[in-house]
Amino acid sequence: MADWYYALGNQQKGPVSLDALKQLAASGKLQRTDMVWREGMVEWKKAGQVDGIFTRAEVQRAEVQRAEVQRSEVQRDEAEPLRRRPQREIEEEEADETEDDRPRRKKKRRRERSPGQMAAIIGGSVGGGILILILVIILVARLGRTPANDGKPAALQGGNTYTLTLKPGQDDMRTFNFLQGKKVEVLVRTPQGILRNPDVDLYITRAGDQAFELIDDAISENCYLQFVAPASDQYMIEVHNLGPGSATCTVTIRES
């Protein structure tokens, strides 16, 4: 039913259906901060506050982006003091400038390090060595880990396979037809990284049936779900990459 209105900038648009709003949201034309309204609502609300307009993956993507912005702001604030020159250094340079008619030249002085500074340098070197040792231990543990350790099948023999590459916060949605009473298995495998692996999630929903939803959102680069199709219908398989880094996933679907 086309009874929704939305505002982009200072322009009101509509009426449109809820499916149309979902398509606008999926394409990025409708943001979570844009206002929407329909008959029966007391006032206009932000699209992100209305259930059903944005998919679960889009909500998680917005949360990831908001966390990245906050982390960038914290890193910028921490780095800001490093960009400020010490007052003592400025005063020394001003004292070194000559007052005659010759071009002014700045003398470079060798500054003696205090015992506290030497201790800080030594402590930083030791701390850096410990950090390198920890990274080496993590690397050895990663290389020694086998795909079977995550409790998911290594492969599905006889299944249909496709490959996709997702950036952090990106998802892939595809629709498939399954027959009633058939057992369906979906396996997502992602090659391991050197130090950190992306967190990949898997969602399976049935068209027109909001009660049917299967989720594997464990913190892992691999996913696996199985079910018996309750009806011959279309089912949507959604793969979402939460990061860090891109994920090249192999998706295998077997119906038996």
**Residue 151, phi-psi category: left (phi > 0), alpha (psi -120 to 50), beta (remainder):** left
97 within 8 A of 104, measured Cβ to Cβ? yes
pLDDT in tens, 59-116: 777 777 777 888 888 777 776 655 555 666 666 666 665 455 455 555 455 566 667 7
* Distances 174 to 35, 207, 234 between C-alpha atoms, Å: 29, 12, 10
In a domain, 174, yes or no: yes
Top pLDDT among 243 and 185 is at 185
Global pTM reads: 0.45
Residue where one domain finishes, among candidates 13, 31, 54: 54
Give the torsion sign (CA, 51, 56, 57, 59): positive
Contacts 24+ apart (CB under 8 A), 8-13: 8/34
pLDDT at res. 147: 46
Domain limits for position 236: 151-255
Q: What is the CATH number of the domain that holds 229?
A: 2.60.120.380
Question: How many domains are contained in the chain?
Answer: 2
- pLDDT tens readout for residues 129-184: 888 888 766 665 555 444 445 778 989 998 899 999 999 999 999 999 999 999 99
